[in-house]
Structure 1
Amino acid sequence: MSLLDLKLTPQRPYGGTGILKQFYNGILPDEVFKQACRSYALQVYNGLLQSSGAKIVIDKSPRYYYALEFIDSLFPHARRIGLIRNPLSIIASYKKVNDRGGEPSDLAADLWDPRFNIKIADITVGLFRYLNYFKGDSPYAYRLYYERLVTAPRDEMMKLCRFLGIAYEEGLERYGNYMDTAKAGLYFSMGVGDPYVNGHKEAHQDSVDSWRETLSKEEIEGYCRVIGAQVFHDLGYGEQLQEAERLTGVQFELEPNRELMQLRTRQLEEATGCKWEDSYGLCSDAPSGLPSEPAEDGLGQGIDPHVLQLQITLRSLEMRLEKSYASQAQLRSQLDNMKAKINRVKSMIPFGNRLSHWATHYLIGGKK
């Protein structure tokens, strides 16, 4: 996400925000930018592997819905693991973690609060981004269901290992046995992840149905109204939806609240500067202009230098033209605002138009 955010060009103490924005968003070709990002990521991940003695690195963040298209363009043949869980259990976990961190929230109120909230975006926009992303079949995607994992951890871990192309190690699912190892120390030193993981040595089922006690009826009803009933059916949680309807006494509409979802999506796009494809799904083929395997030198491979020069010139001119249009629009807006203010003042003064005419005549002619 930090690599993708290079294009946002926030304010820096040394200035140059406008130049950097034009460079990343107008001058530098997208193909070169992506190749550079891929090279950087490979250096970081390979360095992490070498320093830890590991063979595989797993990079996991609930907020990678933010950069799905970008990830696909950098590593089209990477293995993706989608962690799937009952949506009501997800927000129950969200609530528990917030309360533990000293930030208790009123989830029922937050869901409908029109102000931007990244955590609410996670459980609305993010939920549907992942739903669409993992909807189709791909040899590079694996859907791992939380409830199945905690019920039969050994079987599920063996399936996951086969997907990753690695051998299953006996006792892999009893992660508590590895708490004192160097790799576990590296993980816990980062201060990230589930704060409750230390309380157990292996997968357990205590949290499968905890949403019933953790969430109030108002929170259950509010969230189901926002995301709609269809998402429960699509993910395979129809029974949990029926239980939520029994608890609340409400039969929920199939479709999500479109107005609220559009608001959350627009807020997130405005806050991040990102524009996403509608209903984006996993793309496992290398995009045009990008090799399927990392390039040796990392930059510029396969790009004709004459074409590159023309692209840079064209995009630079486009940026200047856009800037010119933006300046004109800003001046036009200021002019319209000033005219509106003058007309409002005139309407408040008796004989305003006549007085204005006299004043103008006096100022121009120098006469009383």
Structure 2
Amino acid sequence: MINFFRKTAVLFIGLVLASWLPTTLAASKILIPAAPRVAASSYFLMDFNSGRVLVEKNADKKLPPASLTKIMTVYVVFRELSNGHLTLDEKVTISKKAWQTPGSRMFIEVNKQVAIKDLLKGVIIQSGNDASVALAEHVAGDESTFAALMNQHAQRLGMTNTHFENSMGLPHDNHYTTARDLAKLTQALIREFPDYYKWDAEKEFTYNNITQHNRNKLLWRDESVDGVKTGYTEEAGYCMVASARRNDMRLISVVMGTASENARANESQTLLNYGFRFFETHKLYDAMASLTEARVWKGDSKKLQLGLPNDLFVTIPRRHFNDLKAETQVDNRITAPVKEGEAVGTLNVTLAGDVIINKPLIALTTVAKGSLIQRLYDEALLLMEH
């Protein structure tokens, strides 16, 4: 039981670190150069760790994703691998349907057996439609069932404006996504499967004595870029999801509907350069680290440590880290029982007077009811306060 009388503690970031919530800083206080103009139907730039959106335009507009679809295809397969349902060396028998799939190809042959690892590289590096279908059929029995699985994962990841009809991105009226949703998907893929994600940085792959190069031109231009995927259909235009890491900061960019292969690379580079030049990201609090302490009444313990359930990062304009200020607000009438994970306070962080964080503080441990004597004693103390 928690009442609404609160006590407040102010923490300075130089000593105790904090977190963030996206907001617009007052232009009169901190000046940030305007976002660059990007020649694309839709585009999006966000920090990987904090999730802060740095640039966006038409980010929730439903558009055909072309081969960007394959980010979800490999994500689903990675999930199956991590769950132990598949192995990288497992062989897949190539169907006639997979072999006949139009568009970009890995050049697998019908009835041949191909390792899942090779098929994944064929999708990631060569953008093979045939490899995508082969994986879909192996995982789910047929491509339509696999598409349903893709949609389940999309829903779980919060991709609210996405629907898939196939594993490769061929045009369909009911096959669409958004720049924002693709960034969410890419964030999940990199976070959950860092070892598999390393394949995105490979510049070429040879299968069946045929060497094909990765279509991500930024892999050759910018050594900080290590993924992710390109796509093209006449309906979608030239699309690209890219990710780059410089020092401890990783960004994810999405461009959809650009005019050419060079354009999608150039516009992606423009977004990434803007983000790295004008923003910086810091890890602030570790998950489950104690940030403050609260008094607990009528419990088997008088003290309760409060913290945050997840690691927290902040992305802010460069050279303004020392301007951050954190404040915790904790109810001083916390009464046992208190369950671990229960919200019992709030963390607020301001930058130049603007609130950029509002996160619930949780109990890091459980506090059970105290003995009858302890409860009566605390009740008497509480009555005396009034």
Identify the TM-score tier after normalising by the shorter chain.
under 0.3
When Rg is computed on C-alpha atoms for both structures, the one with the higher figure is 1
Name the structure, 1 or 2, with higher relative contact order (CA <8 Å, separation 6+). 1
Judging by fraction of residues, say which structure has more strand: 2
Judging by fraction of residues, say which structure has more helix: 1
